[in-house]
Structure formats: structure tokens, C-alpha cells
Amino acid sequence: MSLVEEVDVIKRIPLFSKVDPARLKLLAFASERLTFDDGRFFFRSGDEGDSAYIILEGEAEILVGEEEAVVAKLGANELIGEIAMICNKPRTASVRAKGEVTALRIPKDVFMPMLTEFPGMALEITIELANRLERTTQQLVERTMEGTEQ
């Protein structure tokens, strides 16, 4: 997969969908493409949030708790770990490769300087995050309503 194809993948991720493709090209160029063997961890709960990952091929599992129960699965074109990276918080869950996984690692020290360099990009990402918050709030309201109706 070449740089151009990677840019296409990044573009399909909602958080980056509105960002200028020229910026995404730089983001892809400065990121690392990694191959995870089956069972290798992307990161573990409690680790420092030093990067986000985009799965290019394969499947990964999200694990929570001490017993590391699998709570969700992630597939191609999905973004992992961006919240811990942006908020400067430790990881709240672990992520492990299920089968071989190819992923793009976006290091925090690439992502953050890009936000400071390109206010337009920062704005698009803020809007996307706000939208996400709006949706979550909406869902929360709907659920509460459902609760009171019952």
C-alpha cells in the first residue's frame, strides 16, 4: 500500500473526512506503518497515550478490566486511541491484534504540531469531536427518556 492509498484510508475516517487532503498526506508521510502479529498488543490499559492507530488491514479486539474481557472488535479503516492521545490521559482499555494486523501509527508528536500548524485542520477536528459529543448526548437523552417512560 503506497502513501496515496493510505491517504485514501485516512480520508474515510470521520474525524479526518473534512481535513484538507494535502495535510492528510503529510500526516500519512510522518506516520509509521506497522505490522502487528496475532496477539500482539497495540497498547495496554494504563499505558501513556502517545499515539493513535488506524487499522489498514485485519482485525483488533478491545479488552477491558483486569480479566481482559473482549468488549468490542475493530476492523479496517477504524481509528483507535485518539482520545487518550488528544486528552493526554492514560489508556482506558487494551487493544490486541486478532490475526495479523496492518495499522498506521500516528504519533502524538506528529499530530499535535500539525494542529498548531494548521488551524483549519484543528477546526475541522474540533467540529467533528463536537458532533460526536452531540450524538452521545442525544443518545444519553434518548435513553434517559426511555427510562422514565417505562
Where does this chain bind another protein (CB under 8 A)?
1-3, 6, 22, 25-26, 29-30, 32-37, 40, 42, 105, 109-110, 113-114, 116-117
Cell of 57: 488491514
Three-state SS annotation for 74-133 = ECCCCEECHHHHHHCCCCCCEEEEEEEEEEEEEEHHHHHHHHHHCHHHHHHHHHHHHHHH
Q: For residue 52, what are the β-bridge partners?
A: 106
Q: Give the nearest distance from C-beta 64 to another protein in angstroms.
A: 21
- If DSSP codes are grouped into helix, strand and coil, which group holds residue 57? strand
Q: How far is the CB of 145 from another protein (least distance, A)?
A: 44
- Nearest distance from C-beta of residue 110 to another protein, angstroms: 7
- Residue number with CB closer to another protein (35 or 92): 35
Q: Identify which of residues 2 and 148 has a Cβ nearer to another protein in the complex.
A: 2
Query: Of 88 and 138, which CB lies nearer to another protein in the complex structure?
Result: 88
